[in-house]
Amino acid sequence: MNPLLLPIVAAQGLWVRSKTERIPPAAGPTEGSVGDGSGPPVRIGVLGESTAAGCGVGTQEEGFPVLLARELAARTGRPVEWQVVGEYGATLRRIRHRLMPGLGEQLDVALLLAGVNDVLARRTPREWGDDLGAIVDDLAGRAQHVVVTGTPPFGSLPSLPRVLAGYLAEQAAGLDEASRRVCAESQRATWIGSEVLLPMGPEFFARDGFHPGATGYRLWAEAVADHLAERRGDLLAKAV
């Protein structure tokens, strides 16, 4: 980015911070099960920042973990047990050292939703990659398959002015490239970029114009379920 634009970035950042509503995490239990099919349950764990915690919707029933569980239950004909460990404002370092120990073991799929707070904190790709590598290694010991989601497409967030959005998108691209590299080095991990969610209309977002709303989380869960069906059909085989 042109250095002459950095004062505008700083001013827009302060303005967005002062105007953006802080939305609480979704209410409800942080673990449960869905589906009444036959066969052994699919066990999933979701770890991460505010999107994992369900900020943007009222209850966990509308959030990403439960919606993904419902998608997988419908596609496999098997019950799905889900768990989420998420926190508003969590950086990857906090996820690594404070949140990850709360995630269960013997999972079929472990998913990491993170990146927004690290972009806002201007963490370098090297710092991000070091923490992500440790997290992926830990999750690979807990789950058969690890999914790391990409940073959001900042240019599509309605709450962000154009110059600030462009600056954050540049920062996010560096973290995404590090994520691709880390996941490519693990046999159990894959990375899903946010381009699978584009285009993102106004209906995708919660009232803050930053977090997903119920429609956004549903579309995101569908995209991840499509990925798992394509990449890990053996893992999500239909019950017979």
Amino acid at position 142, single letter: R
Q: In the predicted model, is pLDDT for residue 227 greater than 70? A: yes
Q: Which pLDDT value is given to residue 52?
A: 98
State yes or no: pLDDT of 236 exceeds 80.
Answer: no
pLDDT, averaged across the chain: 92
Is residue 26 domain-resident? no
Provide the β-strand partners of residue 211.
Answer: none
DSSP 3-state assignment of 107? strand
Look at residue 237 in the predicted model and tell me its pLDDT: 63
For residue 39, the model assigns a pLDDT of 85
Residue range 50-70: average pLDDT? 98
Query: Is 62 a domain residue?
Result: yes
Q: How confident is the model at residue 50 (pLDDT cuts 50, 70, 90)?
A: very high
> Which tokens is 33 given?
């099960």
Q: What is the mean pLDDT of residues 163-176?
A: 95
Quote the crossing angle between the two packed helices 162-184 and 6-19, to the nearest 10°.
Answer: 90
Helix (H, G, I), strand (E, B) or coil at 198: coil
Residue 238 falls inside a structural domain: no
Q: Which two tokens stand for residue 167?
A: 């600056």
The predicted pLDDT at position 5 comes to 74
If you search the block for the tokens 């303005």, which residue do you land on? 15
DSSP summary character for residue 212:
B
Q: Within a 10 A sphere around the Cβ of 83, how many other Cβ atoms?
A: 20
Mean pLDDT of all residues in 33-46? 92
Contact 95, 88 (CB under 8 A): no
Enter the tokens of residue 15: 């303005």
Whether residue 237 lies inside any domain: the answer is no
Record the tokens describing residue 161, joined without a space: 């002015």
φ, ψ for residue 215, nearest 5 deg: -65, -40
Predicted pLDDT of residue 69? 97
Count the domains in the chain: 1
Residue 240 lies in a domain: no
Is 93 within the bounds of a domain? yes
Residues spanned by the domain of 111 = 3-19+31-231
Q: Is 86 contained in some domain?
A: yes
- Exposed/middle/buried for 13, CB within 10 Å: 0-12, 13-18, 19+? middle
Helix, strand or coil, per DSSP, at residue 42 = strand
**Residue 136 tokens, joined:** 């992926």
Residue 230 pLDDT > 90: no
Tell how strand 189-192 and strand 143-149 pair up. parallel
92 falls in which pLDDT band (50, 70, 90)? very high
Q: Which residues pair with 143 in a beta bridge?
A: 107
Specify if 64 maps to a domain. yes
Q: Which pLDDT band holds residue 164 (cuts at 50, 70, 90)?
A: very high
Residue 240, pLDDT score:
40
CATH number at residue 205: 3.40.50.1110
